[in-house]
């Protein structure tokens, strides 16, 4: 899996090309006033698909946030898709103004990947993670399993994921994004020290949300 280091995430390139073309056509035609509207939309689209550089901590025990946003909840649940045990779920809400690329919380190998079709309820709803369209990525790192779930929302209608089972990902590496407002969840095994709580703002690939325990 290649690293995406461009300042605009690849899923936004087509939108920008189309909007730039339409804006240019309007500007050089008798519909010049319309170019102001499409131009503003072009600027917003570039802002939404931005992919800023991040200072990734050099600490392999650190668990980084997989997304920008605000922590909605930290709860104890049983996760049976990949961890197969009791776990801690950290839910992060992304507003339409947040950076929407997703980054790997740890360095490791993708052992599990599953796309689940579903509905498009507002991502901040507590039950959205159970019935909305979503995508799971299970990563094994230093003998521990971590699951990341990309969830669509009312506005978000498309999940992009580059990672596949068998891929190796570096800590903080970009692996996908959710277009136009969403939620990202991360499931951590019991014993992990969780360092965030509801209301905390986090940055994907930069904020440390937890720490892996020492191996037995």
- Do residues 25 and 80 share a domain? no
Question: Is 119 domain-assigned?
Answer: yes
Residue-range definition of the domain harbouring residue 114: 62-211
The answer to whether position 160 is within a domain reads: yes
- Whether residue 136 sits in one domain with residue 36: no
Confidence (pLDDT) at 159: 86
Contact assessment for residue 123 and residue 181, using Cβ atoms and an 8 Å cutoff = yes
3-state secondary structure of 200: coil
Name the domain count of the chain. 2
Q: Which residue, 75, 74, 84, is CA-closest to 112?
A: 84
Torsion 92-148-132-95 (CA) sign: positive
CA distance 187 to 150: 12
Is residue 185 one of the residues assigned to a domain? yes
Dihedral of the CA atoms 168, 128, 193, 145 (nearest 10)? -30
Same domain, 37 and 80: no
Same domain, 36 and 96: no
Residue 58 appears among annotated catalytic residues:
no
Same-domain check for residues 121 and 188? yes
Same domain for 87 and 191? yes
For residue 109 the two structure tokens come to 């190998």
Q: Evaluate whether residue 3 is within a structural domain.
A: no
Residue 216 lies in a domain: no
Alpha carbon distance, N-terminus to C-terminus of the chain: 31
CATH number at residue 77: 2.70.70
State whether 141 and 113 are in the same domain: yes
| Global confidence as pTM | 0.88
pLDDT tens, the chain, 216 aa long: 555 678 898 888 998 999 999 999 999 988 888 999 999 999 999 998 999 999 999 888 899 999 999 999 999 999 989 999 999 999 999 888 899 899 999 999 999 999 988 665 555 555 556 667 889 999 998 889 999 999 886 554 578 899 999 999 999 999 998 876 678 999 999 888 999 999 999 999 999 999 988 764
- Active-site residue (options: 29, 182, 201, 207): 182
Tokens representing 156? 């978000």
- Residue 152 buriedness (CB in 10 A; 0-12 / 13-18 / 19+): buried
- The span from the CA of 190 to the CA of 187, in Å, is 10
d(CA 141, CA 129): 24
Same domain, 108 and 22: no
d(CA 63, CA 68): 14
Q: Verify that 181 and 90 share a domain, yes or no.
A: yes
């Amino acid at each position: 899996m290649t690293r995406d280091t461009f300042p605009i995430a690849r899923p936004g390139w087509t939108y920008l090309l189309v909007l730039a073309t339409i804006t240019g056509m309007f500007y050089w035609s008798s519909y010049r006033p319309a170019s102001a509207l499409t131009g503003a939309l072009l600027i917003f689209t570039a802002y939404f698909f931005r992919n800023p550089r991040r200072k990734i901590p050099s600490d392999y025990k650190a668990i980084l946030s997989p997304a920008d946003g605000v922590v909605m909840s930290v709860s104890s649940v049983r996760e049976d898709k990949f961890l197969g045990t009791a776990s801690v779920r950290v839910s992060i809400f992304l507003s339409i103004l947040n950076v929407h690329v997703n980054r790997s919380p740890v360095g490791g190998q993708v052992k599990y990947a599953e796309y689940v079709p579903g509905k498009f309820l507002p991502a901040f709803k507590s039950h959205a993670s159970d019935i909305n369209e979503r995508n799971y990525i299970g990563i094994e790192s230093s003998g521990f399993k971590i699951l990341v779930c990309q969830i669509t929302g009312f506005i978000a209608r498309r999940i992009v994921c580059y990672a596949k089972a068998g891929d190796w990902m570096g800590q903080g590496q970009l692996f996908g994004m959710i277009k136009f407002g969403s939620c990202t969840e991360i499931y951590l095994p019991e014993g992990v020290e969780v360092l965030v709580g509801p209301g905390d703002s986090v940055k994907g690939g930069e904020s440390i949300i937890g720490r892996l325990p020492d191996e037995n």
